[in-house]
């Protein structure tokens, strides 16, 4: 962890993936994160591994924003916050009294980030959507023929990453100027940003941009091996990698073909590579190609990852045990530094686990906290703090 945000308090009013992922990334940078859940909870709790994967490092309070006393509690939290993060559909935050104008009136220097599918203004402002819809409108799904559902929620996670980047930049600006700001983050815009290479290509050659990126390169793809497994081959245009591949595969007559000729003979080469890869196992091809310094990698199922030497060396996985005794496998932040490793983060919280301590930190005494719980303005977990 790079503890750059240890003095930063983030109040997170989000559910599902984008906002929680953003807040977790900020927590990985040392931020104190208070996740505010509605009484019904985050719908992602219905998928416990998914919930746990994006909610470590946080404290949790349940607030009913439909009650006056609940909104009063929320106002105190916003007044303390450096960052407010929300993921409502446009207009909902205003109805609940937690939109940017309301937050700014309580805390003029607050950094406020609103994550939505299509932005806070514009023709699609009120349009319903999920990850696949943002990928469609952003052009990503159209890059495959036929279009297919990706195995990863790209828009959800990329928007969380961009939100964390924008919030971090806004905090740096605030440190220099003393001014907060409003961040309007569109999940569709995040996809457009990731499509920049394709969009630039299409501007020059619309027909070329209709094909799958790198899809016409026979030696950049996936091949089945004799044991029914698959291996990825990663030669783009490099002649030296191509020559080494030919040496390993016994294709002596092809080793001096330049990139242009290889593109012209794409079908012939692809058929030959399929036939040759089918003569040995995935492990054997991985060994031969790695020894020849050819870019390749076996394709793993998730349960095979811990057996790979790279995974064993980098040690990216660890376990956290929550207060309800549920256990989750976590993935470390993808950067390593020369600073001392920090202690393990807070485990994913149960609903309302830290309600009492969060309220106490906000200036409420025990009697006031009990009263708020009796009113139903806040909820506290029975398995959380006492």
Q: Check the CA dihedral 82-87-91-92 and report its sign.
A: negative
Computed over every residue of the chain, the mean pLDDT equals 95
Q: What is the mean pLDDT of residues 375-380?
A: 97
Residue 384 has what pLDDT?
56
Model pTM score: 0.95
Nearest CA-CA partner of 235 in 298, 296, 299 = 296
214 Rama class: left (phi>0) / alpha (psi -120 to 50) / beta: left
Residues forming beta bridges with residue 37, ordered by sequence position: 62
Give bridge partners of residue 317 from the DSSP assignment: 331
**Long-range pairs, 271-279, Cβ under 8 A, ≥24:** 273/218, 273/219, 273/223, 273/233, 273/249, 274/223, 274/224, 276/249, 276/250, 276/251, 277/223, 277/224, 277/225, 277/231, 278/224, 278/225, 278/226, 279/226
pLDDT of 340 strictly over 90: no
Q: How confident is the model at residue 324 (pLDDT cuts 50, 70, 90)?
A: very high
User: In the chain, what percentage of residues exceed pLDDT 70?
Assistant: 99
> How many helices and strands (H and E) does the chain possess?
16, 12
List pLDDT tens digits, range 62-105. 999 999 999 999 999 999 999 999 999 999 999 999 999 999 99
What is the predicted pLDDT for the residue at 297? 98
Domains 9-196+316-379 and 220-298 share a fold: no
What is the secondary structure of 202-254 as a DSSP string? HHH-TTGGGSPTTTT-TTEEEEE-TTS-EEEEE-SS-HHHHHHHHHHHT-GGG
Residue 156 has pLDDT above 60, yes or no: yes
Whole-number pLDDT of residue 386: 47
CA gap 354, 167 in Å, rounded? 24
To the nearest 10 degrees (0 to 180), the angle between helices 282-291 and 239-249 is 130
Q: What is the mean pLDDT of residues 287-311?
A: 97
The ranges assigned to domains in the chain are: 9-196+316-379, 220-298
Query: What phi and psi values does residue 249 have, to the nearest 5 degrees?
Result: -90, 0
Q: What is the pLDDT of residues 12-70, one digit of tens each?
A: 999 999 999 999 999 999 999 999 999 999 999 999 999 999 999 999 999 999 999 99
> Which residues lie below 8 Å from residue 197, measured CB to CB, with a gap of 6+?
213
HEC profile of 241-264: HHHHHHHHHCCHHHCCCCHHHHHH
Q: What 8-state DSSP symbol labels residue 31?
A: -
Contacts of 238 (CB under 8 A, 6+ apart): none
Specify the pLDDT at position 214: 79
Rounded CA-CA distance 51/20 in Å is 9
Confidence band (pLDDT; 50, 70, 90) for 173? very high
378: left (phi over 0), alpha (psi -120 to 50) or beta: beta
Nearest-10 crossing angle of helices 187-194, 154-177? 100
What per-residue confidence (pLDDT) applies to 385? Answer: 59
pLDDT in tens, 231-267: 999 999 999 999 999 999 999 999 999 999 999 999 9
CATH number of 220-298: 3.30.1540.10
Name the strands in the sheet holding 111-116, side by side, starting at the edge strand that comes first in the sequence: 181-186, 111-116, 83-86, 9-13, 32-37, 58-63, 378-379
Identify the pLDDT of residue 224. Answer: 98
Measure the CA–CA gap between 248 and 127, rounded to whole angstroms: 54
* CATH placement of domain 9-196+316-379: 3.40.50.10540
């Amino acid at each position: 962890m790079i503890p750059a945000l240890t003095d930063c308090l983030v109040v997170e009013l989000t559910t599902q993936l984008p906002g929680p992922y953003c807040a977790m990334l900020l927590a990985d940078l040392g931020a104190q994160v208070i996740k505010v859940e509605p009484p019904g909870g985050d719908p992602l709790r219905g998928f416990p591994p998914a919930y746990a994967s994006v909610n470590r490092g946080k404290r949790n309070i349940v607030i009913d924003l439909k009650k006056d006393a609940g909104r009063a509690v929320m106002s105190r939290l916003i007044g303390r916050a450096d960052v407010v993060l929300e993921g409502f559909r446009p207009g909902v935050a205003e109805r609940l009294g937690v939109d940017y104008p309301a937050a700014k009136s309580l805390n003029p220097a607050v950094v406020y980030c609103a994550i939505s599918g299509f932005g806070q203004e514009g023709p699609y402002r009120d349009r319903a959507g999920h990850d696949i819809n943002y990928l469609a409108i952003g052009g990503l799904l159209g890059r495959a023929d036929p279009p297919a559902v990706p195995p990863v929620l790209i828009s959800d996670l990329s928007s969380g990453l961009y939100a964390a980047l924008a919030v971090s930049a806004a905090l740096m600006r605030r440190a220099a100027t003393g001014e907060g700001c409003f961040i309007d983050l569109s999940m569709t815009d995040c996809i457009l940003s990731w499509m920049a290479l394709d969009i630039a290509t299409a501007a020059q050659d619309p027909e070329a941009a209709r094909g799958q990126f790198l899809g016409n390169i026979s030696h950049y793809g996936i091949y089945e091996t004799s044991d029914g497994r698959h291996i990825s081959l990663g030669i783009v245009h490099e002649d030296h990698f191509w020559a080494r591949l030919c040496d390993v595969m016994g294709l002596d007559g092809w080793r001096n073909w330049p990139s242009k000729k290889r593109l012209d003979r794409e079908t012939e080469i692809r058929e030959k590579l399929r036939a040759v890869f089918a003569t040995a196992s995935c492990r054997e091809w991985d060994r031969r190609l790695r020894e020849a310094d050819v870019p390749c990698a076996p394709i793993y199922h998730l349960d095979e990852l811990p057996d790979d030497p790279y995974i064993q060396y980098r040690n990216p996985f660890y376990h956290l045990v929550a207060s309800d005794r549920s256990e989750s496998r976590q993935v470390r932040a993808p950067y390593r530094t020369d600073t001392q490793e920090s202690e393990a983060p807070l485990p994913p919280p149960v609903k309302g686990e830290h309600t009492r301590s969060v309220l106490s930190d906000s200036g409420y005494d025990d009697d006031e906290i009990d009263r708020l719980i009796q009113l139903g303005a806040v909820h506290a977990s029975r398995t959380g703090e006492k």
